[in-house]
Amino acid sequence: MGNHANPGTGILAYGSLIVDPGEEIDASKIGIIENAETPFAVEFARQSGAKRGGAPTLVPVATGGAKVIGKIILLKASIDDAVDMLYRREIQAVGSGKRYTIPPESVTGRVRVKQLRDFCGVPTVLYTDLDQNIESPSAAKLAELAIQSVSIADAGKDGISYLIGAKRSGIRTALSEAYTEAILEKTGTRTLEDALRKLLAEKD
């Protein structure tokens, strides 16, 4: 892995990376480019693992979804080091020293780090490409998964908290509003924050 700093490296953030990039990425951050539209459509189309309680998360999608306005985190790091940092953040192994290897095309469910060249004026921009595993996502299905996640996810990692964070960051997909309304309807509340408080109280 190279050690030469390359300020021409960035990470395209359009999900939880915006508010929670992890210690390694945060320490290497030298700037932010706002209003970076993703070159691909994004949707709440991946059911996450145990830490998020199976909550829906944002991933690139081939059909449906919408391009969203994210941010580019500019890094003082070589491309290789930036790839490794992003990989460790995605597998929740920040600080472990683990390095990224490209998974075979036949393997599904693995983190893939991809590159965009000369994107928004940055020579190399990285992003994570995780497989969609919620086929034909609907607002009702997403709401069900998000509500279920509150009782089993790590603190602050549930689907409703994730949706709140995405909306606060200006992320709007094709399903965002209907997904929000479905949660409010199912919980009998007026805001996502109220829905989360109600579900957490029921959990206790």
Q: pLDDT tens per residue, the chain (204 residues)?
A: 333 344 589 999 998 899 899 999 999 999 999 999 999 999 999 999 889 999 999 999 999 999 999 999 999 999 999 999 999 999 889 999 999 999 998 888 889 999 999 999 999 999 999 999 999 999 999 999 999 999 999 999 999 999 999 999 999 999 999 999 999 999 999 999 999 999 999 987
Query: For residue 193, is it within any domain?
Result: yes
Q: Which residue has the tokens 């050690």?
A: 3
Cβ-based neighbours of 118, under 8 Å, separated by 6 or more = none
Supply the pLDDT for residue 5: 43
Angle of helix 192-203 relative to helix 176-187, nearest 10 degrees, comes to 40
167 within some domain: yes
Residue 70, domain member (yes or no):
yes
Does residue 85 sit within a domain? Answer: yes
What's the confidence (pLDDT) of residue 2?
39
pLDDT score, position 7: 56
Ranges of H-type helices in 36-101: 79-90
CA count, 13 A, side-chain hemisphere, 143: 19
Residue ranges of the alpha helices (H) in the chain? 23-28, 79-90, 139-150, 159-168, 176-187, 192-203
Number of helices (H), then strands (E), in the chain: 6, 7
C-alpha 114/C-alpha 108 separation (Å) is: 15
Per-residue pLDDT, 72: 96
Q: 107: domain range? A: 9-203
In a domain, 1, yes or no: no
Residues 24/93, Cβ–Cβ less than 8 Å: no
pTM: 0.90
Residue 166 covered by a domain: yes
- How many domains is the chain built from? 1
Kindly report the CATH number assigned to the domain that includes residue 22.
3.10.490
In a domain, 2, yes or no: no
3-class SS at 114? Answer: strand
**14 in a structural domain:** yes
